[in-house]
Structure 1
Amino acid sequence: MFWVLFLLVAWAGVLWSCTLLVAAAGHAAEPATGSATAHHHDELNLYEAAYLAGGPRRVADLTLLSMERQRRLLLAHTGWATVVDPVGRDAHERSALGAFGPDGQSPVPELRSAVAGDEAVRALADRLGEAGLALPAGSRRSVGEGVRAVRGATLLTLAMAAVSLALPAGGGTTSGMIMAWFSLPLLLGAGCLAIARFEAHPYSRWASPAGRRLLVALDRDRGDAQSLTSVAVRGIRVVTDPGLRAALGYGNRGWIPRQRGH
């Protein structure tokens, strides 16, 4: 009957982690003290929409794509960018241009990191947070930690079930009965993860409930699927040009492209 002890360990882990996630999600869903209710989705600029939908990286991708469409930046499918117009029209563009080397070229991942980590993005996040449209960093961390805890508890339950099946059950207990008991905490953990994933798709990591409502309205009215508004809300996956999509996709897997001759 040692398997009962393993079952209790599994239940303890799942209940604790699910409680942690529910508490974090509930805190994140609380109305903010800002003036979010006074906003309309038409009042969001592209950078604000990009941050709410995808965070700093989305702001960086939008900045680079916007400059490319204005022919002030060339993005090659090899993952390198070349300056055409060295004058930035806003703080985000200036942070991108400041990351170029003396030859006017730079890998796209380095530009993305420069824009995403710039003070302009932090100021944007603070402004949206004060307006009640963006989740505070603490809330994002708490929800992320809750999801990881539930995932870990679910894996622990699987491990406890495997150990229980490997041990002699005794007392007329069958493997089917053991799996039936362990299926309950497994279902609870998997269900909690599924609900969290549904609630988090696609905006809630960065946007508050009020911010998500604005993004849903903006997404509904975005019109042309290739517009910058659509890219801000949906990301680079809506870009149909394979060369641009390849250029902007560099760095997503953790490596920097090499330029021919370097």
Structure 2
Amino acid sequence: MDRFAPTPADSRSEPMRTDWVRISVIAGFIATFMMTVTVTGGYLLANAIGDMSGGTVATWFEALSGNEMVDTIGDSVAVGMVLNLIVGLVWALIYGRLAEPVLNGPGWLKGIIFAMVPFLLSILVFFPIMGAGFLGADIGAGPLPVLGNLVAHVVFGAVLGFFFAIEEGSGISDDASEHQASASSERGTALGILIGGVVGAIGGYAIAPTMDDLASRPVLALAGVLTGAAIGALIGSLTGMTTDEDTAARADRKR
């Protein structure tokens, strides 16, 4: 089956793939997970080194880890995580449909360029709505809100573009083995999400009693589901890209 849909001739763009939705969802899921890890790591760092009685930078980090926007999100962690995943997938679909075919360069660079759109919307629109002020000025954390948001979106874009390119490259030819590898990758991704989500839910639920000061058991279980599913999608997608010819070749080398 041809995976490319015809598009008007344009030297600056690439053919539109008919399976761009699948590729976008997989890449977007992984990218959103990595962005969440980055934001969480930044919050933990700010919480650890922030000090209102310290120097300028220390007070910035303290303000970054405790402000109106953080308190608002903290009141509904589970809802925030789900919304973050949905928004990430929506941006991934926009990237796969509109941006990726017309941008030039390696996948990771395409993703970073595209990610500047949600980055600007975040600091210009989302921050004021959440009470952080224009460019996060009302937080009182200096340039850290903008810099931290930029880093998070660079990670999102780079991962999105990188994995979109990997998934896109798994079936670009009409060779039967290439299509078999693509189908195997899809099955591996689906199985990885399922197994990873279950394992993550069990793990999050199990460790919840040791982290009750951070979040409730249902929230940690949900975090485990999302984390496990993202890791499972990555592992399943990569390990699933194999064919009968690959298996036979490995068997011959062992003989």
TM over 0.5, yes or no? no
Structure possessing the higher relative contact order (Cα contacts under 8 Å, 6 or more residues apart): 1
With the length of structure 2 as denominator, give the TM-score of the two structures. 0.30
Richer in helix (by share): 2
With the length of structure 1 as denominator, give the TM-score of the two structures. 0.30
